[in-house]
Amino acid sequence: MEKVAKTISFVASSKAQAKSDQVVWVKVGADAEGQRLDNYLFRIAKGVPKSHICRIVRAGEVRINKKRAAVDTRLELNDEVRVPPIRVAQKTTQEKAAPIAPEDLPILYEDEHLLVVDKPCGLAAHGGSGISHGLIERARAARPNQPFLELAHRLDRETSGVMVLAKTRKALVRLHEMMREGLVHKSYKTLVLGDWVNDRQHVKVPLHKYVTKSGERRV
């Protein structure tokens, strides 16, 4: 028999924190409306690898309104999410993200909803795969009083370019809708070796996938 679950309701679900020793029911607030289930769990289950989160969702341990859900399920306002006990190995020291200096991350545009920055080459969009902290973690550290700050999209660590960060949940949801509807145009520039004969060139070769000595997957 499953132990009686502790029920917790939050007006703003960003304040929710998953417990490691008990089942928790969390009510989705306005700040999490429209967010993917896996990203939501990753945010409230601090320090838990995303691969583990995906595993427990696929195993049916996470429920939305008492029903099974997929990792890409979009949350709705007032949904009740069952979060099972999640245990991770405790680190002896908790390294905090260092705030990123303005000169290291030039701001191209900012208003009450958006923050657009010029990401340099070598800076990961977010932590993971052996990287403690990326752009989003360091940007949050530089703005401790910013209640909400999320990546609207991602760029590879070795790719420099424009990145859009959402300062409100409403802006993030709308940006994702625009991307799905094809209303956002992305263009990439690269250096090539040799003569570029035509104005437009089609590259029709398979992607080469490999793993570095450190275990990092690359394409």
Over residues 174-201, mean pLDDT: 89
Phi, psi at 135, each rounded to 5°: -55, -50
Least confident window among 7-11, 50-54, 71-75, 102-106: 7-11
pLDDT recorded at residue 57: 92
pLDDT recorded at residue 20: 53
pLDDT recorded at residue 21: 66
Q: Is the pLDDT of residue 120 over 90?
A: yes
Q: Which two tokens mark 8?
A: 């917790």
Q: Is the pLDDT of residue 7 over 50?
A: no
Residue bearing the bigger pLDDT, 64 or 104: 64
pLDDT recorded at residue 99: 85
Q: Is the pLDDT of residue 19 over 70?
A: no
Q: What is the pTM of this model?
A: 0.60
How many helices and strands, by DSSP H and E, does the chain display? 4, 11
**Per-residue confidence band for 88, with pLDDT thresholds at 50, 70 and 90:** low
**Per-residue confidence band for 18, with pLDDT thresholds at 50, 70 and 90:** low
Q: What is the DSSP letter of 97?
A: P
Taking alpha carbons only, the member of 132, 139, 149 closest to residue 47 is: 132
156 is catalytic: yes
pLDDT recorded at residue 50: 81
How are the residues of the chain apportioned to helix, strand and coil, as percentages rounded to the nearest 5?
Answer: 20, 20, 60
B/e letters for 109-118, b = 16+ CB within 10 Å, e = fewer, are: eeeeebbebe
pLDDT recorded at residue 171: 93
Over residues 47-75, mean pLDDT: 89
Assign residue 208 a region: left if phi > 0, alpha if psi is -120 to 50, beta otherwise? beta
Q: Is the pLDDT of residue 5 over 60?
A: no
pLDDT recorded at residue 13: 39
Percent of the chain with pLDDT over 70: 85
Q: Is the pLDDT of residue 136 over 50?
A: yes
Residue length of the chain: 219
Q: Is the pLDDT of residue 199 over 90?
A: no
The residue written with tokens 């420099």 in the block is: 160
Catalytic option among 38, 104, 118, 156: 156
The residue written with tokens 């679950």 in the block is: 5
pLDDT digits (tens, 9 = 90+) for 166-182: 999 899 999 999 999 99
**Per-residue confidence band for 129, with pLDDT thresholds at 50, 70 and 90:** low
What is the overall mean pLDDT for the chain?
82
